[in-house]
Amino acid sequence: MPRKPINVRDFLSNLPLFRELSADEIARIAAGSVEIDAPRGTVLVNRGDPCRGFHIVIFGQVKLALRAPNGGEKVVELIGPGMSFGEPVMFLDEPYMVSAMTLADSLLLHVASDVVYAEIERDPGFARRIIAGLSRRLQHLIADLEAVSLRSGTQRVIGYLLRDEPAPSKVNALCVTLPARKGVIASRLNLTHEHFSRILHELIEARLIEVDGPRVTILDIARLRIYGA
């Protein structure tokens, strides 16, 4: 069944990066963007490919990963709707350092670097918003490094399950849906699939969570937060 056409201008104007741009500026960026239909399993870029812009996910999910010589991989980040990748290497004019592959049927926009540079020349505020976005990504990478270096596997899994924890309230239970296969999430947390599964089983045995496929029910947020501390 054909998908419903996407209004690229409307989509871009609702993203934080472009929200303050005028209609003419949005139109120029839309004109310099290309839609990419990418079924599940599509390799968008490989490490070493030249970078001529950056990608924005409209819907679907993209896995950024590093590949080892033995065929293994380390998942660096999972990119969902409204998120982007490729900006750092675009500005450095260097090849991609990671591979990018879709984990679900996806639609993306590729925004050409020439268009980005032209808008930065026209609007310094646009440059500040890009810098802010890159700074947030650096903060996330530092947090990931801290987790891998200083936290146990159990603490990493608990932190991941509580990543969307709501503001403090009287509710002490939470249902989350794992956004990818357990092996992908395990790699994202720098764990083996087996270690990740053992930790989930341990949390089930402690009656802190229940697991039904990708759905995880946190039975006691307060207890889970301090477990293994």
User: What is the structure's pLDDT at 140?
Assistant: 84
pTM: 0.84
Query: Between these two residues, 195 and 166, which has the higher pLDDT value?
Result: 195
Look at residue 133 and tell me whether its pLDDT is greater than 90: no
Domain boundaries, the chain: 8-150, 153-226
User: What is the structure's pLDDT at 3?
Assistant: 66
Fill in the DSSP letter of residue 221: H
CATH class of this structure's domain 8-150 = mainly beta
- Cα–Cα distance, 217 to 173 (Å, whole number): 7
User: What is the structure's pLDDT at 168?
Assistant: 62
User: What is the structure's pLDDT at 145?
Assistant: 82
Handedness of CA 136, 40, 38, 13 (dihedral sign): negative
Average pLDDT over residues 174-201: 94
β-strand partners of 25: none
* pLDDT digit string, tens, across residues 151-185: 999 999 999 999 877 666 566 889 999 999 999 99
Rg over alpha carbons for the chain, rounded to the nearest Å, is: 20
Query: What token pair was written down for 119?
Result: 């808008």
Q: Which residue is listed with tokens 């049927």? A: 105
Query: What token pair was written down for 137?
Result: 């990504």
- The correct answer on CATH 1.10.10.10 for the domain covering 153-226 is yes
